[in-house]
Structure 1
Amino acid sequence: MTGARLAGRIALVTGGSRGVGRAVAKRLAAEGAAVAVNYRRDAAAADEVVKAIEAEGGTARAYAASVDDPAATAELVERVHADLGPIDLLVSNAGTASRGTAVADTVPEEYLRLLRVHTLGPLALIRAALPGMRAAGRADVIVISSAIVDAAPSGGAAYTMAKAAMEAAARTLAHEERAHGVRVNVVAPGLVATEMGERLVAASVGGAIAELDASYPFGRVARPGDVAGVVAFLASADADYLTAQRILVDGGGPDVPIVSGG
């Protein structure tokens, strides 16, 4: 373990088995938090994250639950509480990509699908966790959104709208819950070198993410660890006076059009 500034914290990371979620789970554990690694289907990937954390002396357990199922997320909160303790650090990271259709061709069901995963499901999870978070004295909700909200690229309306809706809810929640000691902040990555990022690049411009590095700030596309570092900071005492903030993790914005989010 690299430090202990999050010692004693109980963290739940949704979508924690791969990509940004995996990096966040490992970083929070390295900072001393006990981490509940949520996943939807890939139990083996989640178990690998848990084993990696335990190998470094940390504490972690894997939990299956789909974030768009309110009953499943309510049960998830109860299970984490029973196993690790009451959640006082919730990182809402789980997500799914849109089908990339134009507004004129996007059916209502697609908007609802994305809203359930990126907005309505996370809000149900937060509601389930709030009683314990309010009792903690210091608690954090950190929402992983996307720089795509700013870019609003063609073909991304369903995804962009769902992320924007969650950001609006997060800012509102921040104002409502600060009397209870709950901080709520948004982290919005640009393109990140993950499996999802690779698929987005292949579908939109062809090729691989590595081929874009030279045209991005500081000579590279963002890495999952870049996002994880910001999340760990927001959960720490160093960010004790921050809430209702949105932090872009995009190197200041690429000099080429953004492909898609994190």
Structure 2
Amino acid sequence: MTGEGARVALVTGAGSGIGAATAGVLAERGMRVVVNYLSNTEAADAVVAGIEAAGGRAMAVRADVREPAAVEDMVGRVRAAWGGVDVLVHNALIPYTVKPFQEMTWEELGGKLDAEMRSAFAVTKAVLPAMTAQGWGRIVYLGTNLSRRPREGMIALGTSKAALEQFARYLAQELGPLGITVNVVSPGPVETRVAADVLDDATRQRQVAATPLGRLAHPADVARAVAFFADEDNVFMTGTTAAVNGGMAMY
């Protein structure tokens, strides 16, 4: 059972998939979890209900993480209820276009870059005051192996997540002396509803064949890696990118 003194974790985009799995794992490990979501109230409430049924504590807060005012309002609501955010897991998936570069407009590429970094900037700025005041914090960003291993049509996602990875390294350097670690968890293909919409069966089978562990990742696989970086035990790893892809890409 989580208590009043338990760490507070904010998970963005936690209504489904990796975010929902992460919220559940962090709650299992004793954290009070803020389930951020954009539009699907029913799904977010279901995540909260599942956590509470298992003996954990959670609250759902709606906010568009691309909007700094909405993010500040969300963090303010968390502060009023539970105090400052100790752990930030920035997982929210910012929409992107899938097409070759030669067919892409600057609005499609630049818009994704802007929205990706705007949201990371906003949520990080909002949680840092409490972390710096207490001299402890954990920040985990969700990346993608597409930032290092290009795939046809995925230039907008891969480029924006590569920018996020470098952003994380700079933050790790700056915030380390303040007791705050910053890391990236970089999944390969994950078995989710979104992936099912994007991957045809032939592509999925090729990816499974290229994975030494013989399957694609499940959301829980990624969530457990996130939970390690969010934990008290992670005292000496920062500025890293952890590949969660079953050996599909090794770096």
Give TM-score scaled by structure 1 length: 0.89
Structure 2 CA distance for aligned equivalents of residues 97 and 65 of structure 1: 15
- How far does residue 213 in structure 1 lie from its aligned partner after superposition? 4.3
The 3 A distance-change label for structure 1 pair 128 and 53 is: same
Match of 1:199 in 2: 197
The 3 A distance-change label for structure 1 pair 83 and 112 is: farther
Match of 1:118 in 2: 116
The 3 A distance-change label for structure 1 pair 69 and 145 is: same
CA contact (8 A) 1:27 1:228 kept: yes
Root mean square deviation, CA, Å = 2.0
Letter in 1 for 2:144: S
The 3 A distance-change label for structure 1 pair 158 and 214 is: closer
- How far does residue 148 in structure 1 lie from its aligned partner after superposition? 0.7
Letter in 1 for 2:196: E
Match of 1:28 in 2: 26
- How far does residue 212 in structure 1 lie from its aligned partner after superposition? 5.7
CA contact (8 A) 1:38 1:64 kept: yes
Match of 1:49 in 2: 47
Structure 1 CA distance for aligned equivalents of residues 198 and 6 of structure 2: 37
Match of 1:180 among 146, 161, 178: 178
Structure 1 CA distance for aligned equivalents of residues 15 and 153 of structure 2: 27
Match of 1:87 in 2: 85
Match of 1:229 in 2: 224
CA contact (8 A) 1:36 1:60 kept: yes
Q: What is the CA deviation profile of residues 10-45 of structure 1, one whole-angstrom value per residue up to 9, with x for unaligned ones?
A: 000000000000000000000000000000000000
Structure 2 CA distance for aligned equivalents of residues 150 and 208 of structure 1: 19
Letter in 1 for 2:122: A
| Pair 1:147 & 2:145 matched | yes
Local SS of the residue matching 1:183? strand
Local SS of the residue matching 1:238? coil
- How far does residue 252 in structure 1 lie from its aligned partner after superposition? 1.5
Structure 1 CA distance for aligned equivalents of residues 208 and 61 of structure 2: 35
The 3 A distance-change label for structure 1 pair 61 and 254 is: same
Give TM-score scaled by structure 2 length: 0.93
Structure 2 CA distance for aligned equivalents of residues 80 and 243 of structure 1: 26
- How far does residue 199 in structure 1 lie from its aligned partner after superposition? 1.4
| Pair 1:250 & 2:245 matched | yes
Q: How does 1:155-166 map to 2 (within 5 A)?
A: 155-166=153-164
The 3 A distance-change label for structure 1 pair 22 and 208 is: farther
Q: What is the CA deviation profile of residues 85-130 of structure 1, one whole-angstrom value per residue up to 9, with x for unaligned ones?
A: 1001000000134221111111111123322432221111101111
| Pair 1:66 & 2:26 matched | no
Local SS of the residue matching 1:219? coil
Structure 2 CA distance for aligned equivalents of residues 22 and 208 of structure 1: 25
CA contact (8 A) 1:20 1:224 kept: yes
Match of 1:258 in 2: none
Match of 1:39 in 2: 37
CA contact (8 A) 1:67 1:117 kept: no
Local SS of the residue matching 1:239? coil
Letter in 1 for 2:81: D
Structure 2 CA distance for aligned equivalents of residues 232 and 249 of structure 1: 13
Structure 1 CA distance for aligned equivalents of residues 122 and 103 of structure 2: 29
Match of 1:76 among 74, 77, 80: 74
- How far does residue 243 in structure 1 lie from its aligned partner after superposition? 0.6
Local SS of the residue matching 2:213? helix
Structure 1 CA distance for aligned equivalents of residues 196 and 143 of structure 2: 18
The 3 A distance-change label for structure 1 pair 254 and 55 is: same
Q: Which moved more, 1:104-113 or 1:32-41?
A: 104-113
Match of 1:220 in 2: 215
Count matched residues: 248
Quote the sequence identity (%). 38
Structure 1 CA distance for aligned equivalents of residues 97 and 119 of structure 2: 19
Runs of 5+ consecutive residues of structure 2 not aligned to the other structure: none
Match of 1:129 in 2: 127
